[in-house]
Structure 1
Amino acid sequence: MTQEAVVQRSIVVNGTPEQAFEVFTRRFDAIKPREHNMLGCPIVETVLETHVGGRIVDRGEDGSECAWARILAYDPPSRLVFSWDIGPTWQLEEDNDNSSEVEVRFVPDGPDRTRVELEHRHLDRHGAGWESLRDGVAEEQGWPLYLERYAALVPAA
């Protein structure tokens, strides 16, 4: 694998950027895999709070919560940026300075199609072991799985 501290993936979907953005942000619960779980019980929902300062939170069947991201930019319909507060050991980062960032851009690609570009950057901020985190989010069970589930909600072009 490369030593770059960034992972990039993209997909083209049918619909306008407004529609694509709406599905990604409002239906994130259907996109995030339940098996990606740091709670001590099954996840019943994942909520993406749609404002700067909001969070992405997994809620467990026992009422527990795991806030694993912070919304850094919320610019409908063009982009969403959130922190990745999960470290190389797949536990929550204690220090926000050690978090990476995920930017999702919604770019028009013709009259009724949108290119969704995902960039997970600054992975080296996680410190020792960051390469394994990069490799994990890049593999098929990482961002490709999220985009595959997203595409099932917004038919791929």
Structure 2
Amino acid sequence: MEEPVIEVPEVVVGVSVNLPTDTAFALFTDGIDRWWPKQNSFSRGTAREIGLTAEGGWFEISEEGETVGWGDVLAWQPPQRLLLAWQISPDTQPWSPEPDPAKASEVEVRFLPIEPGRTQVKVLHDAFARHGDGGAGMAAGMASPMGWPALLEAYRVAAEMEST
């Protein structure tokens, strides 16, 4: 008997910023430590630093100096596109890093020019079914006001500061 396939909806969130696409991409990637909330940590405390690099993936450094990986960079195409593996397990509360890349969902970030000096930043987080039974809960969490909407609001505020 074949197991049923669980369909988990994708999460799509966007924000417009008053930055050209190359600056918007750089703020999202190189500048992630300036906007990602440090309390959104997977090291069981407040992160000291958040990082995202083409070679090193995305990660945090805890207050104790421990590096905690969040996933790999699957595509780094400045200034249009970024694709990340979300190697976070919903099987623990709070969520924690997932060492198995086969159990990672994917976060695609697109940087779309609206007009000169203005960019639409669109996040598409999908493949939640790879997380197993907890995938639907993770999708709901990332779609909730405290998930990607809050993260992109923090990004928008940082972009506003960058543009002034």
TM-score by length of 2: 0.87
Q: 1:34, CA displacement in angstroms?
A: 1.6
Q: Which residue of 2 aligns with 1:61?
A: 63
**Counterparts of 1:143 and 1:14 in 2: how far apart (Å)?**
19
- Ranges of 4+ aligned residues in structure 1 off by more than 3 Å: none
The one-character-per-residue Cα deviations of 1:1-35 (angstroms, maximum 9, x if unpaired) are xx643100001111211111111111111222222
Partner of 1:57, secondary structure, is: strand
Q: 1:133 deviation in Å?
A: 0.3
**Aligned partners of 1:93 and 1:60: how far apart in 2?**
17
Tell me the residue number matched to 1:122: 127
Kindly indicate whether the alpha-carbon contact (under 8 Å) linking 2:10 and 2:125 is maintained by their aligned counterparts in 1.
yes
SS class of match (1:141)? coil
Who is 1:26 aligned against? Answer: 30
- Counterpart residue number, 1:151: 156
Q: Deviations over 1:27-84 (max 9, x none)?
A: 11122222222214431101111x1x42111101211111012111100000111100
User: Residues 15 and 38 of structure 1: is their aligned pair in 2 closer, same or farther, counting only changes over 3 Å?
Assistant: closer
State the partner residue of 1:84. Answer: 86
> What is the DSSP-based 3-state SS (H/G/I as helix, E as strand, rest coil) of the residue aligned with 1:10?
strand
**Paired position in structure 2 for 1:72:** 74
Measured against aligned partners, the alpha-carbon deviations of 1:70-114 in whole angstroms (never above 9, x if no partner) come to 111100000111100002131222321110000000011012211
Q: Specify the SS of the correspondent of 1:33.
A: coil
Gaps of at least 5 residues in structure 1 are none
- Classify 1:42/1:154 alpha carbon distance in 2 versus 1 (closer, same or farther; 3 Å): closer
Q: Distance in 2 between matches of 1:151 and 1:115?
A: 11
* AA of the residue aligned to 1:78: Q
If you compute each CA radius of gyration, which structure gives the higher value, 1 or 2?
A: 2
* 2:56 maps to amino acid: G
- Unpaired runs of 5+ in structure 2? 1-6
TM-score (norm 1): 0.90
Q: CA RMSD in A?
A: 1.8
